[in-house]
Chain A
Amino acid sequence: TQLLEQSPQFLSIQEGENLTVYCNSSSVFSSLQWYRQEPGEGPVLLVTVVTGGEVKKLKRLTFQFGDARKDSSLHITAAQTGDTGLYLCAGAYLSISSGSARQLTFGSGTQLTVLP
């Protein structure tokens, strides 16, 4: 079983502050996805990182995939109240039980609250 540890679990910050969320594993993933989930809705894909050391930027969000493809981070600059939500990282790996399709193992999630 692939495990993905995500931290912090909860984060409450003031608008304008910066923050970083981390996902770590002892396993290597073929790729890593970051999702954001609102209450009562399904996760919405933010980004997929594939190459070790890859950095992707999405406006104020910066995603990084570790060189060894075992860890990833999400950095938000100048957080806004609209960034509030549950952020989930998910690592893709090949499972024998799923045939050729790669399954996802999810981190525990980071509940971010940005206060005005």
Chain B
Amino acid sequence: GAVVSQHPSWVICKSGTSVKIECRSLDFQATTMFWYRQFPKQSLMLMATSNEGSKATYEQGVEKDKFLINHASLTLSTLTVTSAHPEDSSFYICSCLPGSTDTQYFGPGTRLTVL
């Protein structure tokens, strides 16, 4: 149980293009999903909290107009990196929160490379 998928697993794009990453909870419903970013040799940094049916809450320093989050259903959240630049290259990971527990279950991550 508690399986989370992400798609795509990796993507390479040109500077200036937009990239959409999907996060799905496969065997449970998640009212809340989180998006993280991880640079090489570093830990996870929370970007935003996504609640189904409402606007996402962004952490300080994260541009909401650049990182668009949509949580349209209890099993799907999407992160769109708009007008991507090389500095946006990173490992993006989502997590899902089933029910009222603290434990988050993570997706396998998406490696974004912007040329």
A interface residues (Cβ-Cβ under 8 A, vs B)? 6, 30-31, 33, 35, 40-45, 48, 50, 88, 90, 92, 95, 97-109, 111
Q: Given A33-B104, A42-B108, A97-B57, do A88 and B97 touch, yes or no (CB 8 Å)?
A: no
- B-side interface mostly: strand
List B contacts of A111 (CB < 8 A): 41
- Whether A107 and B104, one on each chain, are in contact in the complex, defined by CB atoms closer than 8 angstroms, is no
B interface residues (Cβ-Cβ under 8 A, vs A)? 4, 6, 31-32, 34, 41-46, 49, 51, 57, 59, 91, 93, 95, 97, 100-109, 111
Please pick, from A40, A98, A102, A105, the residue contacting B109 in the complex, using a CB distance under 8 A: A40
- Whether B43 and A106, one on each chain, are in contact in the complex, defined by CB atoms closer than 8 angstroms, is yes
Please pick, from B6, B42, B102, B107, the residue contacting A92 in the complex, using a CB distance under 8 A: B102
Q: Given A42-B109, A97-B49, A98-B49, do A106 and B103 touch, yes or no (CB 8 Å)?
A: no
List B contacts of A102 (CB < 8 A): 97, 102
List A contacts of B111 (CB < 8 A): 40
- Whether A104 and B104, one on each chain, are in contact in the complex, defined by CB atoms closer than 8 angstroms, is yes
A109 to chain B, nearest CB (A): 5
- Whether A98 and B106, one on each chain, are in contact in the complex, defined by CB atoms closer than 8 angstroms, is no
Q: How far is the CA of A88 from the CA of B104 in the complex (A)?
A: 13
With a 10 A CB-CB cut-off, give which of A45, A99, A104, A105 has the most chain B CB atoms: A104
Please pick, from A44, A48, A88, the residue contacting B43 in the complex, using a CB distance under 8 A: A88
- Whether A103 and B105, one on each chain, are in contact in the complex, defined by CB atoms closer than 8 angstroms, is no
With a 10 A CB-CB cut-off, give which of B59, B93, B100, B102 has the most chain A CB atoms: B102
- The 18 sampled A-B contact pairs (Cβ below 8 Å) are A6-B43, A30-B102, A31-B103, A33-B103, A40-B91, A40-B109, A40-B111, A41-B108, A42-B106, A42-B109, A48-B101, A48-B103, A99-B57, A102-B97, A103-B34, A104-B104, A106-B43, A109-B42
